[in-house]
Amino acid sequence: MISLQEYLSKGQTVLSNILIENYRHLGMTNDEFLLWIQLYRYHEAGDEFPDLIPISKNMGITQQDIYQLLNQLVQKNVIMIESKRSTDGRITDYYDFSPIFEKLRVLLKQQQNQAENQQFERQVQHLYQMFEAEFGRPLSPIEYQRIGQWLEEDQYQPELVQLALKEAVLNQAYSLNYIDRILISWERKNIHSTAQVEEEQKRRKRQLLQKAPTSEKKLPKISMHNWLDEE
């Protein structure tokens, strides 16, 4: 049985789980990735251009198969064979592993964008459902188009349109024109987030408290703000 000291003396090759989880998404087969790991193992140990014969024996495949796999790695741009001149003037070859990390960065960015797009689509679908629930009826094609323009052309975030809908409902104004005036007012005041809307609502509430009679203890639950009065 191998001792702990013998185990540790062989060193370790550290790979990120992100790479292990996504190597197939980078277009690599199992054998190609295994060869890449073998080459990377030598690289981590300080051998930048190892002999392929021990690797072929370690993987249990012929040298011809190793050369074919290496050629495939180069063609798939997950490894490059470069040359450099040493201090004594000799030119040596080495494996450059940076291409795979760049491809991985691009892949992760694409996955992130895809996840964000899917989340945005769910938010938009939920927004349409909220409008129909509050209006108590299906939206007309023109209303769908108007809401779509807020999202695509005016670049309003779905949660901001949702807050504007709630504001209109508090004022018992079930009108897209009314909601549009709310959104325009917020845009003029540079309000683009939920936190900013909440702060604006607190500011209006403080103004109402200052104007309210001293004997009045509670304000009505409705907004009491007529957005159509704003220019």
Is the alpha carbon torsion for 85, 88, 90, 92 positive or negative? negative
User: How far apart are alpha carbons 44 and 37 in whole angstroms?
Assistant: 10
Residue 180 tokens, joined: 């549009």
CA 175 from chain center: how many Å? 34
Do residues 157 and 192 make contact, with C-beta atoms less than 8 angstroms apart? Answer: yes
Residue 217: band (very low, low, confident or very high) from pLDDT cuts 50, 70, 90: low
Q: What is the predicted pLDDT for the residue at 2?
A: 74
Do residues 80 and 99 make contact, with C-beta atoms less than 8 angstroms apart? Answer: yes
What are 132-191's pLDDT values in tens digits? 999 999 999 999 999 999 999 999 999 999 999 999 999 999 999 999 999 999 999 999
Do residues 182 and 167 make contact, with C-beta atoms less than 8 angstroms apart? Answer: yes
Q: What is the predicted pLDDT for the residue at 167?
A: 93
What are 14-24's pLDDT values in tens digits? 999 999 999 99
- Domains of the chain with bracketed CATH: 4-96 (1.10.10.10), 120-229 (1.10.10.630)
pLDDT beyond 60 at 221: no
Helix intervals (H) in the chain = 4-9, 17-22, 30-44, 52-59, 63-75, 98-135, 141-152, 158-170, 176-188, 194-211
215 Cβ contact partners less than 8 Å away, ≥ 6 residues apart = none
What are 187-214's pLDDT values in tens digits? 999 999 999 999 988 888 888 788 766 5
Q: What is the predicted pLDDT for the residue at 225?
A: 63
